[in-house]
Structure 1
Amino acid sequence: MTSKLDRRKKYTRMVLKDSLIELLKEKQISAITVKEICELADINRSTFYAHYADQYDLLDKIEDEIIEDMTGYLNQYHLVKEEDAFHIIEKLIDYFASKHEVCRTLFSEENDTTFQKKVMRFAQEVFQQHWPGSTLTGNDSKYLSTFVISGSIHVIKSWLNNGMDKSTTDMAEVISQLINKGLYGMKEG
């Protein structure tokens, strides 16, 4: 009986999350009501409130879940050499590709979500703790990581919005080249 309840809870949460993502493709979170989410999910409002406080709580849980997934994904690898960093960049881009609809929606400029800030904060911690070859300290390290991370996020957003027109390996190469060699070190192609 318990596993049946757990499956039902998982299903309900999945349908509510999917419904909110669909609505976010059309309008901002501030314009979305719990009633709309429930209608699209074919779930009654009392069921919604058994799981989430409001539409903002649901959005927050979706964003946090993605950050947790990325954390678990990154914890499988250790940054030691430049090649390892490339592999991790490629794996993270693979992750974004596997969740491209959700990520593109959450990264959208039209949406008022905190997703980009959460990804920035997450990546900032990873960068400062593990990036190989980063010998800068203090504010210089903070500025460098902000530059690299925000640039990388915008490149990934652009790639998602362009229908993922390059392979994940190609995108990892572009980002890796920009990080390690800068604009002047980029190969034409």
Structure 2
Amino acid sequence: MNPKLDRRKKYTRMVLKDSLISLLSTKQIAAITVKEICEQADINRSTFYTHYKDQFDLLRQIEEEIIADMNTYLSQHNFSEIEKSLQTTERLLEYIVSKSDICNVLLNENGDTSFERRVMEVARSFLITTWMDCQENDAAVSEYISTFIISGSIHVIKHWLANDMDKTPQQIAQIINSIAINGIDQNS
């Protein structure tokens, strides 16, 4: 394949993704049209349809990339020790900082709620198979505990993103891990 063509395809997809993310910051996906995306990207509609079926397909592709990145990232770490759990949470938050524009939009009220559920499933699978294995709970209890911890963590991250990341990833990781390990009673 011609390298110029490959670069052009990558550029086109990047511009389309950036345009959709920009539009999602102010509108819900159902209210965004392919025409709007193309106008913002300065690309004609036939080019759009060469790459994606519709705006929902484009959003799904963006979400797939983030989920794949998160899976790859989390697979590289071991949650079995508290110190490593804190470091991994910090690194995951640093990843979110590096993709803050996309993560903020995908997790805000204009984003697709399925993305948040998918992020929760990724986190749950890692939490149950690693950290929760260290606990003395049966599988059903572990699932409820992990749901509680993950839901709370995602909402903390959403709040943090909405506040322009007013704390460092290390501070947020400390808050999340402290609550996950000690609960709300900070005197434990």
TM over 0.5: yes
Mind listing any 5+ residue stretches in structure 1 that lack a counterpart? none
Q: CA RMSD in A?
A: 1.4
Q: Structure 1 residues 79-88 or 166-175, which shifts more? A: 79-88
CA distance in 1 between partners of 2:61 and 2:102 (Å):
13
> Is the CA contact (8 Å cut-off) linking 1:104 and 1:160 kept in structure 2?
yes
Amino acid at match of 1:148: I
CA–CA separation in structure 2 for the residues paired with 1:73 and 1:116: 17
Task: Please name the residue that 1:111 is paired with.
Answer: 111
Higher deviation after alignment, 21-30 or 113-122: 113-122
Query: CA offset at residue 77 of structure 1?
Result: 1.6
For 1:2 and 1:144, the matched residues in 2 are separated by 52
Q: Distance in 1 between matches of 2:113 and 2:18?
A: 16
SS of equivalent residue, structure 1 residue 147: helix
- The answer to whether 1:180 aligns with 2:181 is yes
Is 1:123 the counterpart of 2:123 in the alignment?
yes
2:86 alignment partner in structure 1: 86
Q: Which residue of 1 is the match for residue 47 of structure 2?
A: 47
Q: Distance in 2 between matches of 1:137 and 1:154?
A: 26
State the SS of the aligned residue for 1:184: coil
Letter in structure 2 aligned against 1:159: W
**Equivalent residue number for residue 165 of structure 1:** 166
Matched, 1:7 2:7: yes
Comparing 147-156 and 103-112, the one that deviates more: 103-112
- Cα offset, 1:135, TM superposition: 2.6
Q: Taking every aligned residue pair, what percent have the same amino acid on both sides?
A: 52
Decide whether the 8 Å contact of 1:106 with 1:115 is kept in 2: yes
Deviation of the 1:186 alpha carbon = 5.9
Separation in 2 of the partners of 1:161 and 1:66?
Answer: 19
Paired residue total: 187
Q: Give ranges in structure 2 of 5+ residues lacking alignment.
A: none
Residues 75-114 of structure 1: per-residue CA shift (max 9 Å, x gap): 2222231111111111111111111111111111243442
Q: Partner letter of residue 45 of structure 2?
A: R
Could you tell me how far apart the structure 1 residues matched to 2:177 and 2:112 are?
Answer: 29
Native 8 Å contact 1:107 1:115 kept in 2: yes
Q: TM-score when scaled to structure 1? A: 0.94
Structure 2 Cα separation of the partners of residues 79 and 24 of structure 1: 34
Please state whether the residue corresponding to 2:165 is helix, strand or coil.
coil
In the alignment, which residue of structure 1 is the partner of 2:75?
75
SS of residue paired to 1:183: coil
